[in-house]
Amino acid sequence: MTTVEQVAGAPGTAVVRRARRTARRAFRPRRSWPAFIAAVLVLAAAVLAGAAAAAAIAGVPLRVPVVGDALEQAAGMRWRDTAVLVAAGGAALLGLVLLVAALLPGRARWTALRTDDPDLVVGLSRPALRRAVAAAARGVSGVRAAHATVRRRAVRVRVETELRERPALRGDVEEAVGERLDELAPLRRPKVRVRVRAAKA
């Protein structure tokens, strides 16, 4: 029976939705390498342009062997030249790759847990989740050893057993791991895949 206090204390749908959105944003994996590469390239170009401008103002031309030769060659080129088109295409391709890499999420290091409270964000690291899943699998009768691998959408569990007849062992391990995941309450519950093999003598 549902009491008035339970109904009043239960979080509303909008609050739960906002809490899950906050957790997703907090634990969304980000790629720092594309930003780092772009920042280094922009910094190098800015330093070179600033040095060239300062040298031109001082009346002393900037003499950098590689850059100077490249600038002299570029001064005599036209937009229709093959080298210019290849360089422009390479720069556009590099920019597109960096943009796509920055937009796509990187490898998740944390698993967001459901709290239904927008002011409380809780996460579990991949190693911790892997240990929790493996411990749940090892708690099943007949399992000698268990190893877990955590992916973005699935948890793979490999168990070793000394039992010769094990028709229900896989289902028992799946149930135990599923119960452990329900206790942890990840924001996105991964699928559980179990593989059973005979233990080595």
- Asked if 108 and 95 count as a contact pair (C-beta separation under 8 A), the reply is no
pLDDT at 148: 93
pLDDT(7) > 60:
no
Arithmetic mean of pLDDT, 35-59: 75
Q: Give 9-39 pLDDT, tens digit per residue.
A: 455 687 777 777 776 776 676 666 777 777 7
Domain boundaries, the chain: 33-103, 110-198
pLDDT(192) > 80:
yes
**This prediction's pTM:** 0.57
pLDDT at 75: 62
Tell me which CATH homologous superfamily contains domain 110-198. Cation efflux protein, cytoplasmic domain (3.30.70.1350)
* 33-56: b (≥16 Cβ within 10 Å) or e: ebeeebeeeeeeeeeeeeebeeee
